[in-house]
């Protein structure tokens, strides 16, 4: 029987909401226990507030978003632009992965437009396989867990890498029924809207997330609004037939074959 626990990990506050919150809302409806974790604290996300002030604000906004979903929000570990794939970071990330022992991990893709995202992906990929290795020491200590885990990588926003190469996901989730709650979760990040206005000329988070959801839906060829993922290779993580996201969401999942 599948352990109904999912861990969604983003580099920064609001990454989870942009990339996977619709899928999390659907899993919550199916009785799954949802854990949200931003590795970085948003400390660089303001031109008017200092790092401690903006990080505190971003933490409260992330907690407000998690309350909409009914999820557990875990404390951050790093400053913005301070997520690195190194031994101390991996030991800390692996400890919480063992503690939660999820059946599903949702995270960034290995190729993205910034290295905080890419390093978050690398840390979670290794932490997931280290979850069941007793001889790997984590910080703080936590016993290894043997349960299977499936990783799913969301594409970068716009489905393009930092070199403008297209990313073609293979799994699509129909979020039409929950897209308004996805918007609500994203709008909890009020300070992020200020940052995007100042740095990326975005005028509305709601317009951006709706446009992205429709674009991914069009890419699926099936759903009007969608989120997308590419499953990680199962070797070392779970049996070949372990497909917890597909089984949990049934008809709201469409898989395309890789060519």
Q: What is the DSSP letter of 166?
A: B
DSSP string across 162-178: TT--B---SEEEE-GGG
Q: How many CB atoms lie within 10 A of CB 127?
A: 26
Helix (H, G, I), strand (E, B) or coil at 87: helix
Counted residue by residue, the chain has a size of: 259
pLDDT of residue 131: 97
Ordered domains of the chain (ranges, CATH): 5-255 (3.40.50.10320)
| 24 to 5, 6, 50, 69, 71: CA distances (angstroms) | 11, 8, 32, 8, 9
**Please, which pLDDT band fits residue 157 given cuts at 50, 70 and 90?**
confident
SS3 content of the chain, % helix, strand, coil (to 5): 45, 15, 40
Question: In degrees, to the nearest 5, what angle opens at C-alpha 11 toward C-alphas 124 and 46?
Answer: 165
**Please, which pLDDT band fits residue 33 given cuts at 50, 70 and 90?**
very high
pLDDT of residue 198: 63
Helix (H, G, I), strand (E, B) or coil at 170: coil
Name the burial class of residue 201, with classes exposed (0-12), middle (13-18) and buried (19+) by CB atoms within 10 angstroms of its CB: exposed
pLDDT of residue 201: 59
pLDDT of residue 48: 85
pLDDT tens sequence across 167-189:
999 999 999 999 999 999 999 99
Peptide linkage before 153 cis (omega within 30 of 0): no
Q: Which residues pair with 34 in a beta bridge?
A: 6
**Token pair listed for 175:** 């979020």
**Residue 259 confidence (pLDDT) above 60:** no
pLDDT of residue 235: 93
**Please, which pLDDT band fits residue 205 given cuts at 50, 70 and 90?**
confident
Residue partners of 47: CB distance under 8 A and separation at least 6: 195, 198
Query: What pairing do the DSSP bridges indicate for beta strands 5-10 and 33-38?
Result: parallel
**Residue 258 confidence (pLDDT) above 80:** no
What number is the average pLDDT over the span 189-197? 74
What number is the average pLDDT over the span 30-54? 94
């Amino acid at each position: 029987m599948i352990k109904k626990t999912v861990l969604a990990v983003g580099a920064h506050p609001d990454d989870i909401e942009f990339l996977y919150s619709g899928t999390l809302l659907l899993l919550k409806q199916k009785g799954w226990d949802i854990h949200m974790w931003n590795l970085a604290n948003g400390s660089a996300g303001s031109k008017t507030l200092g790092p401690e002030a903006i990080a505190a604000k971003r933490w409260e906004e992330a907690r407000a978003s998690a309350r909409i979903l009914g999820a557990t929000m875990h404390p951050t570990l790093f400053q913005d632009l301070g997520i690195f794939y190194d031994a101390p970071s991996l030991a800390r990330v692996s400890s919480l992965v063992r503690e939660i022992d999820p059946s599903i991990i949702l995270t960034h893709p290995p190729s993205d437009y910034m290295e905080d995202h890419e390093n978050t992906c690398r840390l979670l990929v290794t932490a997931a396989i280290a979850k069941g290795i007793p001889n790997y020491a984590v910080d703080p200590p936590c016993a290894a867990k043997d349960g299977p885990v499936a990783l799913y990588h969301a594409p970068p926003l716009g489905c393009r890498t930092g070199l403008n190469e297209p990313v073609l996901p293979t799994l699509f989730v129909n979020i039409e029924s929950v897209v308004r709650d996805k918007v609500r979760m994203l709008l909890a990040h009020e300070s992020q809207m200020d940052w995007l206005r100042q740095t990326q000329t975005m005028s509305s988070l709601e317009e951006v997330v709706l446009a992205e959801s429709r674009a991914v839906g069009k890419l699926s060829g099936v759903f009007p609004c969608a989120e997308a993922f590419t499953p990680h290779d199962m070797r070392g993580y779970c049996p070949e037939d372990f497909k917890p996201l597909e089984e949990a969401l049934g008809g709201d999942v469409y898989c395309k074959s890789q060519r």
